[in-house]
Structure 1
Amino acid sequence: PGLAGATPTPPGGATRWRRARWVVLGVVLALVGVATAATLYLTRDRYPDLKFDSLRELSRLSAGPERPGDMWTAVLDDRAYLAFPLPDDRLEVVAVDAGNGRELWREQTDVRADDWETIIAVPGAVAVLADAPGDSTPRPLAVLDGRTGEQRWQRVLRGDDDVYFADDTAVLVDRAADQLVGLRLTNGSAKWTKPNPRGQYAGGRTVVRPVGTDAAAGGPAFLDGTPRNPWASKGRRLIQVGADRSIRLLDMASGAVLRQWGSVADLDDLVVAHEDRLYVAANEGGYQLLAYDLGSDAEPVVLHRSGNDEYRPKELVACGERRACLLQVPDNDAARTEVVAATEGERMVRWSAPGVTGLIPLGEQVLAQRESPEPTVTVFDVAGKPVLRDRGGVAVRLDAGNLLVFAKAPSVVADNRVLAGVWAESGAVDELGELKDVRSSSCSWNTHVIACGADKDFVLYRFTDD
């Protein structure tokens, strides 16, 4: 007997089975969701077409009471730095929010120089470097705090010295002392020193190159294709070619030699390191293009043999995952220049590129630049098909999927410059308008903003609608 309408209690085994079935179904749905999310993440377009828009002036900032003789800019993420020389040979530096164009601070360096060469935006700081008329001429390097503009430190370099920056370290290529010196970015003190490898005839001469990353190569670049933001990935490294033909891989923060190879390259050979690969092409006819694994002591892989002594390599870049692209020119005949694209484990591809003098990677695509008779650019897809052919002007990378094209080569003279945006995958062009009365050689950019020195002041323009 029981209460009318009561539901009979099911056997315990049936309840457990239904509960287990729901648990299993939940797990399956969760796994499907994870797999779907992973698929979407892996197949997403990392560098989608930007929403280009007509140039819109964001702000103008003073460059002093008189027209400056020179002007420099540097853009890193959401910060723009602007600089101009003062009558007393110091440099005035202005920090600007690149998102809204507002001035954040304006400071003058303690150090003086007859002439200045450049400013370099680094994480949390901005470096200013003087010019020098000769290799042995002293020139100052100073680092200013990015938050306040206060000068942190200064150091005297020679005209032929180089300096490379990491998150918290500046590596000085000290050519007088034949050594590398790791300097703390906070105060300029030495963290480490490393003597250069020495050769029998060339002494301590050396060539130093940063190891590139996919993230850096996918971001804004200088006119020559060098990444504007090499700090996009952690663990910055350098390769050093020694006068003894050795190459070693160094950690920039500690100076530790991570790996070393003997008898690899002469100082004038073409050498590029990217992610986990080192590419070497001898500067000679009948060259080979070799790929070394930066993570092992394995023998190099031959990616390409020119097969003919008349072919010499002229330009070498990393252009995709374990893929290198180079220009080869037969008998110095620029009209017969070719692009060679070689990927480990795949057939080499090459195509004609008459007159091309420079390559800039756009993922697996490449931007090819010609300088004469007039500057023109062509964008080639992975197979060598032109998606943008012979566009007049000079192009720069915004990211791996988008370009800016200056209608004429950048100049130190203030004038108008027509600007266009290009979607790299399709080659579609969007006319953006004119930069008015700018010294276009001073311009810097990210994916939304371009900062330039003008005739008497600085100007920031926005060129995307987002």
Structure 2
Amino acid sequence: MPADLEELFGGLGRAADTIPLVPAERARRRGEQRTRNQAAVAAAVVVLVAVGVLVGLRVQRQQTHPADVVRPLPPVGAPIGFGEAAVNVSTAIAGDRAYTSWRTADGWVRVVAADLRTGARSWTARTVARSDDYSGVAALPQAVAVFVVPDGDDVPSVGTTANRRVHVLDPLTGRERWKRDLGGADDVLLNSHALVRMAAGTGRTEAYDWLTGAIRWSVPPGTDRPVRTVAVREPDEQHGAVSTDDRLVQVTEAGRVRVVHVADGQAVPKVTIPAPGQADTHVAYGDILYNSERSGGTTSPWRVRATDLGTLESWVVLTLPAGHDVDSMWPCGYKRLCVMAMGRAYPQTTVRSVDVAERRTVWQLGDFDGGYGGSMGEHTLIGTIGQKPAATLYDSAGRPVYVNRTDAVDWLGTDALLVQPLGGPGLVQRVRLTDGRATALGWLPAPAAAHPAGDAVAPCVHNGERLVCPSSVDVRIFSLTG
């Protein structure tokens, strides 16, 4: 999924990468669609992509096993209790540690760290701030970032974004290193070199050192100020909060593009994208910048453009039928781009896999009533959020390989999916991408306490060896490898 904190945490804004604000009409229609789907959202919040199952093809389906014939998933250490009830809980993994943050009913935000090898507490819970709202935690090997809305700020109305504050902690001790206020509309990127912010109010771009919070470099907006700043990612990096590439891409008011090096702020001279029109979404993967744009007036079709960041060649790879808006874009195979589009009729969401060089649609899925998408190599995972939520894995030809209608589904490395119960208890499985074959890893017990009513059910987070499962009172760690 193109990646910003909206994608990562829902409420975290744009701290991992940026998704530009959508036009008011499009936002209104998405709001109406989400209202109709409200009953199904909780069951699909962890599904990464969306579409119905093609009829007539054989598919490996979810394999269910009773608890008494499947061994328990091995626990790693003892549960780490919060000592209080949590309203919101967020967990992130970096290196050999897991970081869990939560907000209490009276607004206090705290963070605790756990050693993934032993399950032991790495440091006691740290109180970060008192907050009107709380977005979540992101982690890098060199820093832990917690995003909050400072206490006393007005709760924004629908369609607006509150100011945020980032608190950066030392991952070894949990002590706060520095904090900084961020505008609600600022583009904020988490990069392995620095935290980068483009101030929406001024257009100035700054990079903050993870260790000290000092400004490492600052780029003034100039006469043609930037309006979008996005991270450059490799295709299989699309699922993470942190980018490791040394480049970011900025698009200016005039539709020009400049590449900025995160390490030192040096910028490649600006070039012009031909006829950018009413540009909406920008994402960058490898050496290609993709954007969606209007071909004419507000009722004209949207199209998707590719711009080579090396040669500066720019071309249109897809033009959508009138009445369809681009919802998201991500790489889905060698020189392919997946485009999820939403129609004005309901339901009318489609996913197209487009050959970027040949400018042709390789396969297409739809219509369905909303969803999310992502890919790993040649495989694509689509999750629906309509009346029949499901996660469906597709191969490079758009043929379904695996379907799951009840659980949380996520990538497990580059060759498998991890299937886990949503809210537990239930079976944890590894699903092979090539043929959809499921292997039981163990039975996950019920959480120590259910999440409060109205709080979204958060799935466990994981790396290749550990599953970290927070509840509203504690966090537990399990082994995925026995």
TM-score under structure 2 length normalisation:
0.72
Q: CA deviation at 1:169?
A: 0.9
- Are 2:342 and 2:349, in contact at CA under 8 Å, matched by a contact in 1? yes
Higher relative contact order (CA 8 A, sep 6+): 2
Q: Does 1:272 align with 2:280?
A: no
Q: CA deviation at 1:327?
A: 2.4
Give the direction of change, closer, same or farther, for the CA distance of 1:64–1:79 in structure 2 (3 Å limit): closer
1:342-361 matches, cutoff 5 A: 342-345=355-358, 348-355=361-368, 357-361=371-375
The residue identity in structure 2 corresponding to 1:192 is W
Q: CA deviation at 1:385?
A: 1.1
- Are 1:197 and 1:243, in contact at CA under 8 Å, matched by a contact in 2? no
Aligned counterpart for 1:239 among listed residues 242, 245, 249? 249
- Are 1:341 and 1:350, in contact at CA under 8 Å, matched by a contact in 2? yes
**Aligned sequence identity (%):** 23
Give the direction of change, closer, same or farther, for the CA distance of 1:172–1:443 in structure 2 (3 Å limit): farther
Aligned counterpart for 1:253 among listed residues 263, 272, 275? 263
- Are 1:58 and 1:100, in contact at CA under 8 Å, matched by a contact in 2? yes
1:394-409 matches, cutoff 5 A: 394-408=408-422
- Are 1:72 and 1:443, in contact at CA under 8 Å, matched by a contact in 2? no
- Paired position in structure 2 for 1:79: 97
Radius of gyration: which is bigger? Answer: 1
- Paired position in structure 1 for 2:172: 147
- Paired position in structure 2 for 1:368: 382
- Paired position in structure 1 for 2:397: 383
The residue identity in structure 2 corresponding to 1:113 is S
- Paired position in structure 1 for 2:209: 184
- Are 1:328 and 1:340, in contact at CA under 8 Å, matched by a contact in 2? no
Q: What is the alpha-carbon distance in structure 1 between the residues aligned to residue 356 and residue 226 of structure 2?
A: 32
- Paired position in structure 1 for 2:350: 337
Aligned counterpart for 2:308 among listed residues 275, 282, 293? 293
Q: What is the alpha-carbon distance in structure 1 between the residues aligned to residue 438 and residue 89 of structure 2?
A: 30
- Are 2:110 and 2:128, in contact at CA under 8 Å, matched by a contact in 1? no
The residue identity in structure 2 corresponding to 1:433 is W
Q: Does 1:319 align with 2:314?
A: no
Q: CA deviation at 1:328?
A: 3.7
RMSD of the TM alignment (CA)? Answer: 3.1
Task: Report the secondary structure of 1:353's partner residue.
Answer: strand
Q: What is the alpha-carbon distance in structure 2 between the residues aligned to residue 336 and residue 161 of structure 1?
A: 29
1:201-220 matches, cutoff 5 A: 206-214=227-235, 216-217=237-238
Q: Deviations over 1:90-136 (max 9, x none)?
A: 54322222122122222524644343221110122111111363367
- Paired position in structure 1 for 2:430: 421
Q: Does 1:452 align with 2:463?
A: no
The residue identity in structure 1 corresponding to 2:476 is V
Q: CA deviation at 1:381?
A: 0.8
The residue identity in structure 1 corresponding to 2:464 is T
Q: What is the alpha-carbon distance in structure 2 between the residues aligned to residue 178 and residue 417 of structure 1?
A: 49
Give the direction of change, closer, same or farther, for the CA distance of 1:328–1:115 in structure 2 (3 Å limit): closer
Q: What is the alpha-carbon distance in structure 2 between the residues aligned to residue 336 and residue 174 of structure 1?
A: 33
Q: CA deviation at 1:459?
A: 0.9
Aligned counterpart for 1:304 among listed residues 318, 322, 337? 318
- Are 1:406 and 1:418, in contact at CA under 8 Å, matched by a contact in 2? yes
Q: Deviations over 1:341-385 (max 9, x none)?
A: 324248530223331522101112211111011321111111111
The residue identity in structure 2 corresponding to 1:55 is L
Give the direction of change, closer, same or farther, for the CA distance of 1:90–1:392 in structure 2 (3 Å limit): closer
Q: What is the alpha-carbon distance in structure 2 between the residues aligned to residue 122 and residue 326 of structure 1?
A: 29
- Paired position in structure 2 for 1:443: 460
Q: CA deviation at 1:184?
A: 1.0
Give the direction of change, closer, same or farther, for the CA distance of 1:78–1:250 in structure 2 (3 Å limit): same
Q: What is the alpha-carbon distance in structure 2 between the residues aligned to residue 292 and residue 206 of structure 1?
A: 17
Q: What is the alpha-carbon distance in structure 2 between the residues aligned to residue 97 and residue 384 of structure 1?
A: 40
Q: Can you give the 5+ residue segments of structure 1 that lack an aligned partner in the other structure?
A: 1-51, 218-225, 409-413
Q: Does 1:96 align with 2:114?
A: yes
Give the direction of change, closer, same or farther, for the CA distance of 1:82–1:314 in structure 2 (3 Å limit): closer
Q: Can you give the 5+ residue segments of structure 2 that lack an aligned partner in the other structure?
A: 1-69, 452-456
Q: What is the alpha-carbon distance in structure 1 between the residues aligned to residue 105 and residue 425 of structure 2?
A: 27
Q: Deviations over 1:320-344 (max 9, x none)?
A: 3332111245554535724233242
The residue identity in structure 2 corresponding to 1:102 is A
